[in-house]
Amino acid sequence: MSAGRGSTQPASAQPRWLEIVTAVQRDPEGAGLGACLCRECDLYLGADASSIALVMDHAYSLVAASSNLAVVLDEEQFMLGEGPSFDGARSDVPVGTGDLGSDRWARRWPGFLGFAQRAEVQGAFAFPVRVGEARIGVMTAYRRGGGELSTQAYTDGLILASVAATLLLRAQAGTEDGGLAQEFAQGVNDQANIQRAAGMVAEQLNLSVLTALVRIRATAYARGLPLNVIANQILSAELTIEP
């Protein structure tokens, strides 16, 4: 957009949303919708890793990620209960920064900051995936380098998150009542042991399941282990959470 004053300047040949929808639906290798969304999120937002996840009540389940970096950064946030993706899933507007280490953001997400720094990630931008008032999940772009998103990247993120909501729901629309689209099944199944462990701990300590989930997260964090490792230790009675 560098046209001089007074000139008429043609913009791109097709509207941005159409370009993005077309790009997302390009899937020559049959990678699946989630993978295509993350691939385009990397490209359009200049991200080093992207993820898309369902977040419903207190349950997080991964739909897809463009690399393992995004998986661990996502999981860390939902274990800690803080971070841009965690907040973005509950927000009406995008949440994120290109400078996680700055005072303002370090105060907001102190736990996540340490983890992001070890992973050498300076920026994280989370876009709510929602349809009207219905929250579905969150799409997150992680960047190793610092710096904020350009206006174009920001608006592309809005378009991608909206496209994600539409296409993911369309995938779900093809399933039978009560069924789960292929795009979601794996991530939800991966959560099964965590949910079951929460039920066990709730029964052992006479807590609500939600409180039990918080206790499991805190234990995972304190021991520096992934949530599902802790969950498996609880299920096999290898680990008992103290009252």
Partner 1 sequence: MTTNDTAIDLADLPWAGSLASAFAWFIHAASDGLDTVDLLTELAQRCVEILPVAASGILVVDQFGGLRVIGSSSDSAQLLELFQIQNEEAPCLECCRTGQAVFVHDLSAMARRWPRFSAEVMGEGFTAVYALPLGSQHKIIGTLNLFATSTLAADVIASAATLADAATLALLRVDPTQDEIVMARHLYDAVESRNVIEQAKGMLAQRFDEDPDAAFRRIQSMAHASGVSLARVARAVVDRREAVLSDIPLD
Per-residue x/- mask for partner 1, residues 3 to 22, rule CB under 8 A?
Answer: xxxxxxxxxxxxxxxx----
**Which residue from 206, 216, 233 is spatially nearest to 60, judged by alpha carbons?**
216
In angstroms, give the least distance from the CB of 187 to partner 1: 9
Question: Residue 237's Cα: distance from chain center in Å?
Answer: 31
Any contact of residue 30 with partner 1 (CB under 8 A)?
no
From its phi and psi, is residue 237 left (phi > 0), alpha (psi between -120 and 50) or beta? Answer: left
- Residue by residue, what is the 3-state secondary structure of 23-86? HHCCCCCCCCHHHHHHHHHHHHHCCCEEEEEEEECCEEEEEEECCHHHHHHHHHHHHHCCCHHH
- Contact residues for 46 (Cβ-Cβ < 8 A; gap 6+): 141, 143, 149, 153
Q: Which stretch binds partner 1 (CB under 8 A): 30-38, 113-121, 133-141, 217-225?
A: 133-141
**Nearest residue (CB) to partner 1, 72 versus 209:** 209
Any contact of residue 151 with partner 1 (CB under 8 A)?
yes
Any contact of residue 52 with partner 1 (CB under 8 A)?
no
Any contact of residue 214 with partner 1 (CB under 8 A)?
no
Any contact of residue 101 with partner 1 (CB under 8 A)?
no
Any contact of residue 166 with partner 1 (CB under 8 A)?
yes
| Alpha-carbon gap, residue 179 to 136, rounded angstroms | 16
Q: How big is the site for partner 1, counted in residues (CB under 8 A)?
A: 83
Any contact of residue 238 with partner 1 (CB under 8 A)?
no
Any contact of residue 224 with partner 1 (CB under 8 A)?
no
Q: Which stretch binds partner 1 (CB under 8 A): 24-32, 65-73, 110-118, 127-135?
A: 127-135
Any contact of residue 240 with partner 1 (CB under 8 A)?
no
| Alpha-carbon gap, residue 53 to 86, rounded angstroms | 10
Which residue type, as a one-letter code, is found at position 38?
C
The CA dihedral of 108, 110, 111, 113, to the nearest 10 degrees, is 100
Q: Which stretch binds partner 1 (CB under 8 A): 68-76, 96-104, 110-118, 217-225?
A: 96-104
Q: Applying CB under 8 A, which of residues 30, 93, 118, 243 lies at the interface with partner 1?
A: 93
Q: Which stretch binds partner 1 (CB under 8 A): 25-33, 54-62, 71-79, 219-227?
A: 54-62
Q: Which stretch binds partner 1 (CB under 8 A): 27-35, 51-59, 75-83, 220-228?
A: 51-59
Any contact of residue 136 with partner 1 (CB under 8 A)?
yes
Any contact of residue 230 with partner 1 (CB under 8 A)?
no
| Alpha-carbon gap, residue 70 to 50, rounded angstroms | 6
User: What are 24's two structure tokens?
Assistant: 């997302």
